[in-house]
Structures are given as C-alpha cells and as structure tokens.
A and B are shown apart, each in its own frame.
Chain A
Amino acid sequence: MLRQILNIAWKEFLQIRRDRFLILFLILAPTMQLVLISRNTARGLRDVSVAVLDLDQSTLSREFIQELDVTQEMVVRYYPRTHQTLHRLLDDGQVQVGIVVPQGFQRRFRSPTEAPAQLQALVDGTNILIGANAEPVINGVLGRLVQRHLQLPPGVDLGGVQVHSSALFNPTFDIQWFIIPSTLAFITYQVALVLAATGFVREKEIGTLEQLLITPIRRLELILGKAAPSVILGFLNFLLLTGVQTGGYHIPIRGSFALLMALGLTAIVAVVGVGTVISIVSQSQQQAVLLVFLLAILEVTISGYLLPVESMPLVMRGLAQISPLQHFMTAYRAVILQGSTLSMILPHFLALLGLAAGTGAVAWRAFSRHVA
C-alpha cells in the first residue's frame, strides 16, 4: 500500500519538476504575498492628505500645522480659506482629513480656564483605517504642543484642548461601509478575470482554436467574440452584487446610478482585457488560473483594499496607477459613498479606459505572436 502511494507521489513530483511554470509559481506566489502584504501594512498609515482651514492665523496654529505635516501619517496639502473650499476638497476626495482651527485657538490654548481650545476634524469615514487613526494622530500633535508650551509632563491629559472629530460619508464609522464596497469591487474584478482568462486557453487545450483559425473569421472578430460573454456575464454579476449590497446591507448609492453602471462596465472591459492577455499567453487552463491568482495577490495589495494608496511605498504607488482594480475600487467607493460625479472620478475613469485600450492592444499583439 505505502509503496503504491509512494509510486504515485514520485510520479507527481516528476511531473511537477517538468512544469517550470508551476515551480516558479510555488516559489514566487507565497513569497510575494507575504512580502507585499507585510511591507505594505507594516508601514501603517502614511501620508494621508490633509487640508487645514486656519481661521486663527496665529503662531500656535502655524506651529500645529507644521507639526502635523512632519508626522509620518499626515501631509498637509491644502490651506483652504473657507469652509466651502474645505468641504469641496473632502467631497472630491482630494483630502481624507479636513481640520478647522477656529478663531481664538491660541488664546484659549494659553488660558484654558476661559473656555477650552477646540479643533474640528472632518474625517473621510469611507476608509476605516483613516477614520480610526486620524484622531489619535491629531491628539499626538496637540500633546506635543501642550508639553512644549504649558510644561506639562507627558501622559497628562491635554488640559482644555479638545478635538471634535466627525466622520463624513459614513457617520457611524460602520466598518461594513468600508469593507463591502471594496470587496464587491474585488469580486467583480476576480469573476471577470477568471472568465476571460480561461476563454482562449480552453480552445487551445481542446484543439478547437486551430479549427477557428482556418475559418474566414478575422482575428479581431475572434478576440472580441471570445471577450464579449465575459464582459456580459461579469457585468451581470456586478449588477447582482450591487443589488445585494443595496438591498441586503442598506449601503446607499449616493452618486448617479448610470455613472456607477458606466464605471462598472468600463472596469470590467479593462479586466477582461487583462484576462484575455493571460488566456492567450497561457499554455493550459491551470497555468491561466495560477496567473490569475498571482495577479490577484498583487492587485489586492496595491489596490487600496488593505491600505490607502497614498500610504504605499513609491514603487507600489506607481504600480497602483496601472492596476485596474485600484482605479475601479477607488472610483466605485467614491460614487457609492461620497456621491462623486463623473468629473470627480474622471482620472480613474480615463485610466480604466486607457487600460481597456492598452490591454486590448497587448491581447492583439500576443495573439499574433502566440497563436498565429
């Protein structure tokens, strides 16, 4: 019995040894997953964009802004003059945190007996990581100011300084509002990718591709014809998931429904483009599925699913710019939760269109090279 088990196992190893792709996958995928995810998350939150509306215009308020800017977590990018501008920056997703330093901040800070100095922090609640971390960071900065100017020992409470933070778009900081739309985008991406990635390679495996190549069908027709069902099925799946999200979890769609659908369709076309390339270059369905898996690991790390793109190392931020999932996820969340309009998500939209065209071109070239 053991002998036969060993015989089979030995034969398996012989076969695996011949499958260079599988070996590469076994080495690369787990390592990549571990390194990427830990590298990305171990850094924690970094370089969150902040806008400060400084109504006090005092030495202390400027010191506060400077201190905030030098933290690892936050970068002060905008100094709006009015509440209106501040809110627009938040709405457009230009910044994730908006801070209002009210008039009299310095005066009250120095004589806390009169009335406590207050800061107002508006935090983008659609990203739970930012939502949970913004207040502690601001408090830390304030703590240092208190220590420096009021000579209080560390650890003592901040005297009269108070931070009032409120979450925008997701007032109750419901973690589901963050997780579900992100997951939905990821699943939509995965389904469309797998559908497209197994298309050509299946015909290649059963041998019908050569059959099709000698028919009068043109290559472009063949590629588009193979891609169309993946797009349609992927889109139906996207519709279904969005329905479950709205109906089952009561997550509102604050933006335009038509825009949301256009976004989904564009993203799915781009993803199907990627899948088609995988399908054309793969030698077997197994290989195609492994490639999809490998890509998913990478995409999950750089898409902003775990950590906002702003907080990633430079290389990954660069990669994120060519990740269809990143653009889709970011724009989808913005439309759903922040009610973003086309002009607000235009960069993501254009990026997805570009990716769709780019992957289409690559698929075309790969087809000419790898198939006929």
Chain B
Amino acid sequence: MKHVVKNVVKNVVKNVEKQSMSARSQLPNAESRFPNSVHHSMNAIETHQLHRRFRRTVAVKALDLAIPQGIIYGLIGPDGAGKTTTLRMLAGVLKPSSGQARVLGQDVVRDPEALRPHLGYMPQHFSLYGDLSVLENLRFFAEIYGVPRKERAARIQRLLRFAQLEAFAQRPAAKLSGGMKKKLGLACALVHSPRILLLDEPTNGVDPVSRREFWDILGELYLQGVTILITTPYMDEAERCNLVGLMFQGTIIQQGEPEALRRLAPGELLVLYAPDLLRVEQLLARFPDILSLQVYGDRLHLFVADAQASRPRLEAFLRERGVAFTALYQDEPRLEEAFVHLIRQAQARQAAA
C-alpha cells in the first residue's frame, strides 16, 4: 500500500517537474517558469530582495524566492546559510530588515495575522508542552486554531493515525521518543489543515526508519496539494523534493530540480577505495586530471572531465607509485557531491574577492 502511494507521489512529482521546471534554472521569475499555467501569477511563496540583519551579521541577503503552489521545495545549504531565518520571516515571527515576502499572496510583513489560518510552521527546536499528553497537545492547538468543535475529534483521530501515535495518545509528550516527538509536532502543525507548511529541519536527529515514515506523511500531504517548504541537512531528503534551492551566505546560489543540481557536480565521478587514504590523497595532488576531490569515510570521490579516459591513467599512476587500492569505478554523482562542490566553489570565489 505504502509502495503504491509512493509511486503515485513520484509520478505526480515527475509531472509537476516536467511542466514547471527547466534544468539549471537560476531563479527565473514566476512568469517565465509557468508559461502555460493558469496559476502563474500565484506562487505560494514569493520573496523579493529579502534582507535580514542581526547586529553586524547579515543572515539573509537579497533573497528572491518563487515557490509554486503544491510542490515540495527543499532549502539546503551549510549551517549559518540563513535557512532558519528565511523560514522565520516567512512564518511572520521575524521581521525582515528590508524587502518583501508574500505567502499565498499575503504580505507577511504587513499582515502576518491574515496568513495564520493557512500556515503550518514547525520550528527547528519545535517544542510541545512536555507535561501535557499527546492528545492534550493536539486538542490545545486545535482549539487555538479554531478548528470547529464538530470536526475536532475526527480530525485529531485522523492525525493520530496519520502520525502513528494512536497507541500513545495518553502519554506525556516529554516521554515520547525523538522521532515520535517530531511526528507529534508535525501533527500539531497540521491540525488546522494548512495550505502551506514550513518545516525547519524536521527530521534532524531522527533515525532512518522514522525519517522514512515522516516523509511518507509529507508525500500524502503533497498529494493533498499542500505546499511544503522544508530545510534539511540530509541530501537523500533533498532528492525527494520537487525543487531544491541551495543557500549560501544568505542567498540562493543555485536552484533546480534535484537531478539538474546533481549534474552540476564537476564532471564525472570516480570512486576510489584504498587502505591508506591519506597517502593517496597527498599523491593525487600531483595527478593532473582531477577537478575536485572529496573524502567520504573509507573512500575518495574524484571528479574528472572524462571518467573513461582518466580511469586507466589513474590506475597506472597509482601502480607506478606502488600504492594499493581495493576498488576504482565510475559512479553517478549524488546531490551531496554537487552540494559540496558548489559550496566550495562559492567559498573559493568569496575568498578570492
């Protein structure tokens, strides 16, 4: 059953992607990206030259975002890139220093309150009332969001089932496991059936099984047409988004669908396993083909312009120097490699400037 849902999600995602996105689109404005869409004037989230300063540091700088309705948008980037600040401004809990932000067409600076009934926001350090039970937490948020009394019980039941928390309804929130807490947080953020969901690293520190379950829930919400803006440190999660924006130093430096971003990795990827990685790494500094080199635990990821051509040369190079290696093969670059490369590139550009 779950499998079917996932496939459906995937297909829908694909279709949306086909319609809406051109590869390597670097922040095109809304009109150019949706030439045929009737909704073209109505992005779910739009920002224009959004700035936020904290004393001497600039957290968000000249940010232009245009997120179409009904997609899952993944905001990725190194720590301190300004992801959380962006989300807080969009949620209307932090005032921008300058610039504009519209969510569902509403100006979040001028009228943050108008948006509240349609917005679900799960901050990074989402906290619930630990001394209240799961059910009491849900009821409290349902009351505050003004969920009609008649629908309340049914909706809470549905959310409990949805979040697989039925068995724990009476348990104090503080006594839940990390993954369950996150799911309860999501349930609380969903209690008023928002059309927009802002999630700030919702799965951080959660085990892989719980993460998967969490994403299954997001998939269902996606099918219901909820627009989701999510930040995540996990690249496998970013790959599940329709559109990914890479944020660095307060602005988006690259945006596109995950596959397009993946292709931004420099050239082709060779994976090298060797017992003495440190020595290999040092030696390879003198190997001319390498465009970029990343260490991943027990292996090296080497980017070269032409993997087919470089592979035999590299094998020879290592043998000549008597260096042992256990495997060397070509692989598809993942989003993670592209991410690391793009960030390094940006850092280098900055250092040069």
Contacts and interface: CB of A to CB of B under 8 A. Distances in A.
A4 interface: no
A213 B94 CA distance: 10
A372 B128 CA distance: 19
B93 A215 contact: no
Given A215-B116, A216-B116, A207 B126 contact: yes
Contact of A216 (B113, B121, B129): B113
Given A207-B123, A207-B127, A208-B127, A213 B117 contact: no
Given A206-B130, A372-B93, A214 B144 contact: no
A211 B116 CA distance: 11
A216 B92 contact: no
Contact of A217 (B121, B128, B130, B144): B144
Interface residues of A, number: 13
Given A210-B93, A372-B93, A216 B146 contact: yes
Nearest to A222: B144
A215 B91 contact: no
Given A216-B144, A216-B146, A217-B144, A211 B92 contact: no
Nearest to A221: B144
A212 interface: yes
Interface centre among A210, A211, A212, A216 (most CB of B within 10 A): A211
Contact of B93 (A206, A214, A216, A218): A214
A215 B141 CA distance: 8
A214 B116 contact: yes
B125 interface: yes
Contact of A206 (B119, B127, B145): B127
A207 B91 contact: no
A215 B127 contact: no
A208 B145 contact: no
Given A214-B119, A216-B113, A208 B144 contact: no
A214 B146 CA distance: 13
Interface of A: 206-208, 210-218, 372
22 contacts: A206-B127, A206-B130, A207-B126, A208-B127, A208-B128, A208-B129, A210-B88, A210-B93, A210-B123, A211-B123, A211-B127, A211-B128, A211-B188, A212-B144, A214-B91, A214-B92, A214-B93, A215-B116, A216-B113, A216-B116, A216-B144, A216-B145
